[in-house]
């Protein structure tokens, strides 16, 4: 027997032997875990459903492709039809344009033939119109009276008829203190600018027909010369009315083969010296030579295309001239409208001028002071106006104009007389 003292002491603190039941549980085999699996019989319906959905989608896509192909075929056929239709229309239009072009050529030919027949008639009309004015007189003298100012006495003028003015001289010692003066036309104080222009209009037409025309405003200080030429903002003067008439008439006479163009020159003549009113500042002033037929004056032309453009040029001219007020009454203002006509078919080229002149005062030597400068200015004015009167008298009597009389005028005014046909 073993010594009880040598036996293991199983009663160790903190150690507890397993019970027999625990050994049984440990030795007992673990239970089997059941594994679930899908049999082929359950997978087959799912695959069939997916295939069915794919087949459905594929069928829809095929249907869309078929519709797209049908639409493409329809559009292709429509494009082909439109192409054939447009080609047919284009052929018809081309043939029609050819017919129109042929008719246009024929009409152009007829127009040229008509123009060839009309041109001599138009030239004859211009010549006859000019002859009519010549028979009536190349020189027309109109007398215009203005209304009285507040500081002026009673009127001494009477108007027996449209061509006569009767002046009461106040000479009671005479048997007939009233004297009659006859003119081509007399305008009373009530006559406006428009009525005055009616008698000037035929000369504007003559200028457009290719003849040189000059219009002069002559008279004493405060007689209304400048007003007649310039007018006012509400009643235009001869400057504006003449150009407007030229512009309107040119539009009526212009054709596809002929046209008019206009340019303007303007200068001031003071003591036989010329000042170009359209020249740019800083440039040398043009000069005028006296008594030499070969002398000439160069002026700066300003092209104008319409009445508004002419008004702007005229305004600039008057502003430039007005910078020296002391010269206004003793200087001449000459505004010339240059008229150019060109006909590309007949080759006709015409150049004429309409000169509008605001002359210096005709007061003579009645000056307020006897300064040498004033006397010199008035002597130059009297000299030029005297020569002007001699030339007018010669033209009126249809006598030859003496060369010495013309040479007494400044070169700038000589051209107005030598080249003119109407005054």
Residue 247's region, left for phi above 0, alpha for psi from -120 to 50, else beta, is alpha
Decide if 219 contacts 228 (C-beta within 8 A): no
Q: What is d(CA 350, CA 130) in angstroms, rounded to the nearest whole number?
A: 15
The strand pairing partners of 255, in sequence order, are 258
CB 331 within 8 A of CB 256: no
Mind giving me the DSSP string for 333-357?
EEEEEEEEEEETTT--EEEEEEEEE
Structure tokens given for 246 = 């030229």
Q: What is the DSSP string of 62-128?
A: HHHHHHHHHHHHHHHHHHHHHHHHHHHHHHHHHHHHHHHHHHHHHHHHHHHHHHHHHHHHHHHHHHH
Q: CB–CB of 415/403 below 8 Å?
A: no
Report whether 217 contacts 228 (CB < 8 A): yes
DSSP 1-42: ---GGGS-----TT--PPPHHHHHHHHSPPPPPPPP---HHH
Distance of CA 40 to the CA centre of its chain: 98
- Reported as half-sphere exposure (CB side, CA atoms, 13 A), residue 335 has a value of 22
In the annotated binding site for ATP, the residues are: 219-226
Q: How many H helices and E strands in the chain?
A: 9, 11
Q: What DSSP character marks residue 134?
A: H
Q: Which residues are annotated as a binding site?
A: 219-226
- The DSSP-derived string for 192-240 is -HHHHHHHHHHHHHHHHTT--EEEEE--STTSSHHHHHHB-SSSB-HHH
């Amino acid at each position: 027997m073993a010594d009880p003292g040598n036996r293991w002491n199983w009663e160790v603190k903190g150690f507890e032997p397993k019970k027999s039941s625990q050994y049984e549980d440990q030795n007992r085999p673990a239970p089997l875990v059941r594994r679930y699996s899908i049999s082929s019989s359950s997978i087959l319906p799912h695959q069939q459903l997916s295939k069915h959905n794919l087949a459905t989608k594929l069928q829809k896509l095929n249907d869309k492709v078929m519709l797209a192909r049908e639409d493409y075929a329809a559009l292709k056929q429509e494009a082909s039809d439109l192409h054939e239709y447009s080609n047919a229309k284009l052929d018809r239009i081309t043939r029609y344009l050819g017919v129109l072009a042929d008719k246009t050529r024929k009409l152009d030919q007829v127009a040229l033939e008509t123009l060839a027949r009309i041109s001599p008639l138009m030239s004859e009309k211009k010549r006859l119109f000019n002859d009519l004015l010549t028979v009536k007189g190349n020189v027309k003298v109109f007398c215009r009276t203005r209304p009285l100012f507040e500081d002026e006495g009673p009127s001494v003028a009477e108007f027996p008829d449209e061509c006569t003015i009767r002046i009461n001289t106040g000479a009671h010692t005479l048997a007939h203190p009233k004297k009659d003066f006859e003119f081509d036309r007399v305008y009373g104080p009530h006559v406006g600018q428009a009525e005055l222009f009616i008698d000037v209009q035929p000369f504007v037409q003559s200028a457009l027909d290719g003849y040189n025309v000059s219009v002069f405003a002559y008279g004493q200080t405060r007689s209304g010369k400048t007003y007649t030429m310039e007018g006012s903002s509400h009643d235009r003067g001869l400057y504006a009315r003449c150009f407007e008439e030229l512009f309107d008439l040119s539009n009526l006479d212009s054709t596809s083969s002929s046209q008019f163009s206009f340019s303007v020159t303007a200068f001031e003549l003071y003591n036989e010296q010329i000042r170009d009113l359209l020249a740019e500042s800083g440039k040398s002033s043009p000069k005028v030579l006296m008594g030499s037929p070969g002398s000439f004056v160069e002026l700066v032309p300003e092209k104008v295309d319409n009445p508004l453009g002419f008004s702007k040029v005229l305004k600039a001219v008057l502003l430039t001239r007005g910078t020296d007020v002391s010269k206004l009454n003793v200087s001449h203002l000459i505004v010339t409208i240059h008229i150019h006509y060109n006909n590309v078919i007949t080759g006709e080229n015409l150049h004429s001028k309409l000169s509008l002149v605001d002359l210096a005062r005709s007061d003579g030597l009645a000056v307020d002071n006897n300064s040498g400068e004033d006397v010199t200015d008035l002597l130059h004015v009297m000299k030029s106006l005297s020569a002007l009167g001699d030339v007018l008298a010669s033209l009126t009597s249809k006598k030859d104009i003496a060369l010495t009389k013309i040479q007494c005028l400044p070169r700038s005014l000589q051209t107005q007389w030598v080249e003119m046909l109407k005054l």
